Amino acid sequence: MWRPLSFSILLALAWRGFAGRCPRICVCDNIRRHVSCRRQNLTEVPVTIPQMTQRLDLQGNALKVIPPEAFLQLPYLTHLDLRHCQLEQVAEGAFRGLGRLVYLSLASNRLSVLYQEALDGLGALRQLDLEHNHLEEIRPGAFSQLGSLGRLSLAHNSLVYLPDMAFQGLLQMRWLRLSHNALHVLAPEALAGLPGLRRLSLDHNELQALPGEALSRPDGLVQLELGHNPLTYLGEEDGLALSALRDLALDHAALQDVGAGAFARCPHLRSLDLQSNQLGGLPPLEGVGQLRKLNLSGNPLSCDCAARPLWEWVAKTRVQTDGLCSEPRRLKGEALESLRAKDLYCRRQGDKEKEAEEGAPRPRAPTRAPEEATAATPCPAACVCSAASQHSSCENKGLRRIPSGFPNHTQLLDLRRNNFSSILRGSFPGLAQLVSLHLQNCSITHLEAGALHGLGQLVYLYLSDNQLSGLSAAALQGAPQLRYLHLDGNHFTRLPRAALKALPRLFSLHLERNALQHLAMEDLTGAKGLHCLYVSSNNISRVSPGPALELERLHLDRNQLQTVPTAALEALPALRELHLSSNPLRLLQDKAFLPVASSLQHLYLNGTGLQQISPGAFAGLGPGLRSLYLEKNRLQTLPAMDSFTGLELINLSGNPFHCDCHLLPLHRWLAGLNLRVGATCEFPATARGQKVKAATAAFEACPGWGTKKGKRILPSAQRKTRKAQGKRKQLGPAKVGKARPGKRSRHV
Ligand SMILES: *[C@@H]1O[C@H](CO)[C@@H](O)[C@H](O)[C@H]1NC(C)=O
Ligand SMILES: *[C@@H]1O[C@H](CO)[C@@H](O)[C@H](O)[C@H]1NC(C)=O
Ligand SMILES: *[C@@H]1O[C@H](CO)[C@@H](O)[C@H](O)[C@H]1NC(C)=O
Ligand SMILES: *[C@@H]1O[C@H](CO)[C@@H](O)[C@H](O)[C@H]1NC(C)=O
Ligand SMILES: *[C@@H]1O[C@H](CO)[C@@H](O)[C@H](O)[C@H]1NC(C)=O
Ligand SMILES: *[C@@H]1O[C@H](CO)[C@@H](O)[C@H](O)[C@H]1NC(C)=O
Ligand SMILES: *[C@@H]1O[C@H](CO)[C@@H](O)[C@H](O)[C@H]1NC(C)=O
Ligand SMILES: *[C@@H]1O[C@H](CO)[C@@H](O)[C@H](O)[C@H]1NC(C)=O
């Protein structure tokens, strides 16, 4: 690449100037600007590394900690290798100043936590290697600073669980490696916010059932690796819905049976690897017209009459298959594909043979049917325990006390709709693997201290629809991993302050349909990890401020609020979604949302009796807002909405708009908006029922109407923010308009 000569010389001179400073124990390549200080037992980053260095290799030292701003003197670094450095901690801002860094390896260290702030300043980073550490947890948003990251490897760590929004903000991410962890559970939104993801490696984990919901989020996924997980069954209901998926690896799992429709919602599947499972057969797969390769090697295929439909399907679709028969003896070792139809018969006389002649045999039963598995597993009377799914259920059995004797590998225990009244100390012995506990509709009034003792892996606790009015910290002791707590439909009159203090990892709290009148946010002191708070359908008329929280979702709809609780929003700088529907607000005061203006994306104000929105009510809100619900109010007019350039949804239906000259700005704004908004005129009578956007006759006589008829309007604010927002396709290039120079422009 050509560079101005003087600049090159300058750089070279600068480099020479620093070259002399190469630390004694390092090797400096002055031409390529590489510095290597490998395996020198360094305990700190040497201070004399030349400033112009681009690649720095510090592998195999004993740094242990990366302090804040450790590389501030090396602003030109593009590659930094910190493998095998015995790292236990990366301080906040450790990499600050490395705005050019594209590659960072922290692999093979001893990191067990990584905080978001640790990765500050790495906006250009494209690849981050964190494999072979001891990470047990990913905090939601941990990587949200890394907007350029394309590859992230978290392989060979100790992850058990992925929370919602774990990878939020990674808009460029293409390949995410989570192989060789201990993942049992993926939260439904764990993989949300990864629009560019093409490849996901989840092999060598502990998934016992397909996390279908989580896996349907990255819908551009082309390659999915799920091999080496203890999956036993794949059916339609838990199947994948990935419209772009081409390669799916399910090798070395424990599959005993696969439903015909298991991949029906992956229409572009080309290659399916099922090798080394325990499949005795496979039904013809539905909805996979593009399938070319089906690897069945290493399965104990039964090549008798039951294999006929598969054989015919393979012959018809020309899918390349390579399964070998293990039964019957006469065909052992033969390739299924190489057989002729008439080889596939059942030896026994009678029905089976007849079926074979008719070519419509039933698919072979799995080698070990779930019922047999159930019989072999210990399970309390009245309950059903499945070894395959590791679920145990005693739903609606009229139980008065919690039974004991569940299999110790149970991960989900369903005790809904019984009548326990009180949960006694130590009610769940031997359930150290339990992840999800369902106790809805059980007439529970009280949890004793130690009720959850021993539930060290519990993530989800459902106590909805009981008669609880309090919850003590002691009751929750023993469940330190709890992240989702459902207390909706109980008798709480305030937030269970002490209990929340004992749950530092709580992510989501449901308290809908209780009897709260005052929402005291200070009761959330200690709930530092809380991201979602649901208090809809209470009787809340007051919200008082509390400590700073990472809250992203606050559902306050169906309460008695008469004003927007602006002061309480001050402590919620990350709030993205605010529900205030069905509160008697009536009017919106100035700057009502200012404290959360930079983070808010979804605002629900429908059904709030709004008659008036003061001109400054939406102050601060701008391109970040993606949806705004204003339907079913009593609005006759609206303030200027020009700054809302990022809207994907706005609902204005069910408002009695006055289509006179006051509404001209709205009319114009709507004309430039390619969204269905549902705004209709109520007055004047001549315009009643017309869309505000289309009611040109009502506005033609207004001053300033000018020549803009039928044109789209692009306000200046919109132009300024558009670049930052990313291009909105429906809006083309803007030209400066005439009518109000500097304020408005015209879109052609
Ligand atoms: C690093 O420390 C180890 C063990 O103390 C020692 O054997 C080795 O020689 C040291 N290496 C260097 C380059 O100092
Ligand atoms: C199936 O897997 C086996 C073992 O890895 C491999 O040798 C074979 O080529 C694969 N077949 C197809 C069709 O990919
Ligand atoms: C679970 O129970 C089985 C016997 O039922 C026992 O062999 C196994 O060690 C137990 N596992 C744990 C982790 O307690
Ligand atoms: C639960 O048991 C109590 C007695 O302990 C009884 O009064 C109540 O009606 C029962 N509730 C249900 C829903 O069966
Ligand atoms: C649980 O209780 C709620 C409230 O009492 C009720 O609406 C719901 O139908 C119950 N659900 C079941 C499955 O019994
Ligand atoms: C709701 O709170 C008001 C007072 O703010 C009280 O008058 C009313 O009875 C409460 N309603 C319910 C259902 O608790
Ligand atoms: C407000 O709008 C949302 C989204 O359409 C809807 O789910 C909710 O029920 C609405 N609430 C009211 C009170 O209309
Ligand atoms: C707007 O709200 C109305 C009333 O709830 C609903 O019928 C309509 O589908 C909504 N429109 C959009 C675009 O969400």
| pLDDT given at position 645 | 86
Most confident of 6-20, 366-380, 509-523: 509-523
User: Is pLDDT of 376 > 90?
Assistant: no
Residue that has been written with the tokens 């989580």 in this structure:
214
| pLDDT given at position 347 | 65
What's the pLDDT tens digit per position in 251-299? 999 888 888 889 999 999 999 999 998 888 899 999 898 999 999 998 9
Nearest residue (CA) to ligand 4, atom 1: 419
| pLDDT given at position 20 | 52
Of 188-197, 346-355, 608-617, the range with the lowest mean pLDDT is 346-355
* Closest ligand 7 atom to 651 CA: 5
User: Is pLDDT of 690 > 60?
Assistant: yes
User: Is pLDDT of 350 > 50?
Assistant: no
- Which ligand is nearest to the Cα of residue 40, counting in written order? 1
Residue that has been written with the tokens 């979804």 in this structure:
602
- Which ligand is nearest to the Cα of residue 407, counting in written order? 3
| pLDDT given at position 513 | 97
What's the pLDDT tens digit per position in 715-724? 333 333 333 3
Arithmetic mean of pLDDT, 3-9: 44
The span from the CA of 34 to the CA of 57, in Å, is: 8
Task: Give this prediction's pTM.
Answer: 0.57
The span from the CA of 229 to the CA of 205, in Å, is: 5
Q: What does each C-alpha distance from 6 to 1, 33, 192, 716 come to in angstroms?
A: 15, 19, 48, 41
Q: Which helix (H) or strand (E) holds 320?
A: strand 320-321
Q: Where are the beta strands (DSSP E) in 545-585?
A: 553-555, 577-579
Higher pLDDT, 88 or 206: 88
Given its phi and psi angles, is residue 324 left (phi above 0), alpha (psi -120 to 50 degrees) or beta?
A: beta
Of 53-62, 257-266, 368-377, 724-733, the range with the lowest mean pLDDT is 724-733
Q: How much distance in Å is there from the Cα of 34 to the middle of ligand 4?
A: 75
User: Is pLDDT of 210 > 90?
Assistant: no
| pLDDT given at position 676 | 85
Paired strand residues for 27:
36
In the structure, what pLDDT confidence band is assigned to residue 536 with cuts at 50, 70 and 90?
very high
8 lines ligand 4 (CB under 6 A): no
- Give 282-310 as a DSSP string: -PPPSS-TT--EEE-TTS-EE-SGGGHHH
Q: How many helices (H) and strands (E) does the chain have?
A: 11, 46
Percent of the chain with pLDDT over 90: 51
Long-range contacts of 559-563, Cβ-Cβ distance < 8 Å, separation of 24 or more: 559/535, 559/583, 560/517, 560/584, 561/585, 562/586, 563/589, 563/592
The span from the CA of 108 to the CA of 574, in Å, is: 33
In the structure, what pLDDT confidence band is assigned to residue 648 with cuts at 50, 70 and 90?
confident
Mutate to test the pocket of ligand 4, among 399, 400, 419 (most ligand atoms within 8 A of CB): 419
Is the CA virtual torsion 260, 261, 262, 268 positive or negative?
A: positive
User: Is pLDDT of 4 > 60?
Assistant: no
Residue that has been written with the tokens 């480099």 in this structure:
15
Higher pLDDT, 20 or 569: 569
What's the pLDDT tens digit per position in 159-202? 888 888 889 889 999 999 999 998 888 888 899 889 999 999 99
Q: Which amino acid is present at 210?
A: L
| pLDDT given at position 348 | 54
Nearest residue (CA) to ligand 4, atom 11: 419
User: Is pLDDT of 620 > 90?
Assistant: yes
Nearest residue (CA) to ligand 6, atom 7: 539
Q: How much distance in Å is there from the Cα of 445 to the middle of ligand 4?
A: 12
116 lines ligand 2 (CB under 6 A): no
| pLDDT given at position 18 | 46
477 lines ligand 4 (CB under 6 A): no
Task: Show the tokens assigned to 656.
Answer: 């009695």
Paired strand residues for 29:
34
The span from the CA of 556 to the CA of 581, in Å, is: 8
Of 103-117, 477-491, 546-560, 720-734, the range with the lowest mean pLDDT is 720-734
In the structure, what pLDDT confidence band is assigned to residue 359 with cuts at 50, 70 and 90?
very low
| pLDDT given at position 353 | 36
Q: CB atoms < 10 A from the CB of 52, how many? A: 20
Arithmetic mean of pLDDT, 295-312: 89
| pLDDT given at position 231 | 84
Phi, psi angle pair for 104, to nearest 5°: -135, 125
* Closest ligand 7 atom to 579 CA: 1
* Closest ligand 4 atom to 419 CA: 1
What's the pLDDT tens digit per position in 488-501? 999 999 999 999 98
Is the CA virtual torsion 727, 732, 734, 740 positive or negative?
A: negative
User: Whole-angstrom distance between the N-terminal and C-terminal Cα of the chain?
Assistant: 39
- Give 12-79 as a DSSP string: HHHHHHHHTT--TTSEEETTTTEEE-TTS--SS--TTS-TT--EEE-TT----EE-TTTTTT-TT--E
* Closest ligand 8 atom to 675 CA: 13
Q: Do 231-348+364-376 and 382-515 fold alike per CATH?
A: yes
Arithmetic mean of pLDDT, 355-361: 35
Q: Could you tell me the residue ranges of all domains in the chain?
A: 231-348+364-376, 382-515
What's the pLDDT tens digit per position in 86-116? 999 999 889 999 999 999 999 999 998 887 7
Nearest residue (CA) to ligand 2, atom 3: 297
In the structure, what pLDDT confidence band is assigned to residue 388 with cuts at 50, 70 and 90?
low
632 lines ligand 7 (CB under 6 A): yes
- Give 401-463 as a DSSP string: S------TT--EEE--S---SEE-TT-STT-TT--EEE-TTS---EE-TTTTTT-TT--EEE-
Paired strand residues for 448:
none
Q: Which amino acid is present at 345?
A: Y
Residues whose beta carbon lies within 6 Å of some atom of ligand 8: 631, 651, 653-654, 676, 678
- Give 364-383 as a DSSP string: PPPSS-HHHHHHHS---TT-
Mutate to test the pocket of ligand 8, among 603, 653, 677, 680 (most ligand atoms within 8 A of CB): 653
CATH 1.10.287.130 fits 382-515, yes or no: no
| pLDDT given at position 737 | 26
- Which ligand is nearest to the Cα of residue 560, counting in written order? 6
User: Is pLDDT of 42 > 90?
Assistant: yes
| pLDDT given at position 174 | 96
Average pLDDT of the chain is 84
Of 73-87, 224-238, 708-722, the range with the lowest mean pLDDT is 708-722
Q: How much distance in Å is there from the Cα of 66 to the middle of ligand 6?
A: 55
Q: How much distance in Å is there from the Cα of 192 to the middle of ligand 7?
A: 23
| pLDDT given at position 709 | 42
Of 54-68, 142-156, 345-359, 564-578, the range with the lowest mean pLDDT is 345-359
The domain made up of 231-348+364-376 has a fold known as: 3.80.10
Mutate to test the pocket of ligand 7, among 557, 560, 581, 653 (most ligand atoms within 8 A of CB): 581
Of 198-202, 561-565, 664-668, the range with the lowest mean pLDDT is 664-668
In the structure, what pLDDT confidence band is assigned to residue 306 with cuts at 50, 70 and 90?
confident
What's the pLDDT tens digit per position in 734-745? 222 222 222 222
